[in-house]
Structure 1
């Protein structure tokens, strides 16, 4: 039997949504560029979240959960759905570079899922036992949700960065 590789090309709508998501992902990493390990771990709000914790949340609870688990159906990749793990908390033995690299890897994995499906593709899995009935139903819905969530968190990182050292994203001198 011959192994045949099928290359998929996303449709125009998926390309446009993915372009928007990629812009938000670049913003997340770009606003953190140049921050040292200590600054990335410094609590940004009284609730205690740090920039590094927010990026880990985006990697695990957003990119991994929504694309690899919910859209693709690989529920074994989920971390923390039973409440035992908190993606917002980064262990002191975890290097910042490892968290940022994990985010990059998760976005690459998400992109593979996104480009292999149509905008109307139904969700492959949903954790009903945790969240009840799904409020999203297609890849399109998930993409729009993740774009919104990533943009919102990029804004949080903007505010945190300005509080840490005064740097602002895309501001002309």
Structure 2
């Protein structure tokens, strides 16, 4: 059949999982659209008083989603298994391109989408020790997904403001 995708080996997504993934994908889409047509130089441009850039935000959101999905599977130890460059995650280095960070983000998104179909949304893990988390707090996989959605939406808004100051293009308004 031409124009159809064989979905026989894909997990069924319905109900809550479908809603969570649809919401996450919508905000991912806002972030991707915000970057459309930017050069690597523009994607690395600090266009406001903030140090944030469109490319850096995409890089950060991809890293954040990947880390939270590691947490969803294996808790704080899995999330912290790989060190994170807290400042470097927000900037494009000289050897990174917008296309490269968008490709990496697409791979992270595909892995998350596949993973969500396999997880128990009620499974829970204690959060890592950090000053921004309530001591002793425990999050379910569902709460992790809601956090990733919120983080993605917030940073898509940041990226939209940055993009508008670069060339007047607005994604969300």
TM-score (norm 2): 0.80
Query: 1:133, CA displacement in angstroms?
Result: 3.5
Residue 78 (structure 1) aligned with residue 82 (structure 2): yes
The 5 Å alignment of 1:10-89 reads: 10-60=13-63, 62-67=64-69, 69-73=70-74, 74-75=78-79, 78-80=82-84, 86-89=88-91
- Structure 1: stretches of 5+ with no match in the other structure: 1-5
User: 2:149 maps to which residue?
Assistant: 147
The 5 Å alignment of 1:149-168 reads: 149-168=151-170
1:68-120 CA-to-partner distances (Å, cap 9, x unmatched) read x200124476341xx57631122111122111111111111111221111321
User: 1:128 maps to which residue?
Assistant: 129
Residues 58 and 136 (structure 1), Cα distance of their counterparts in 2 relative to 1, 3 Å cut = farther
Asked if structure 1 preserves the Cα contact closer than 8 Å seen for 2:127 and 2:139, the reply is no
Query: 1:9, CA displacement in angstroms?
Result: 3.1
Taking the aligned partners of 1:84 and 1:49, their CA distance within structure 2 comes to 13
- Structure 2: stretches of 5+ with no match in the other structure: 1-8
- The residue matched to 1:137 in structure 2 has which SS? strand
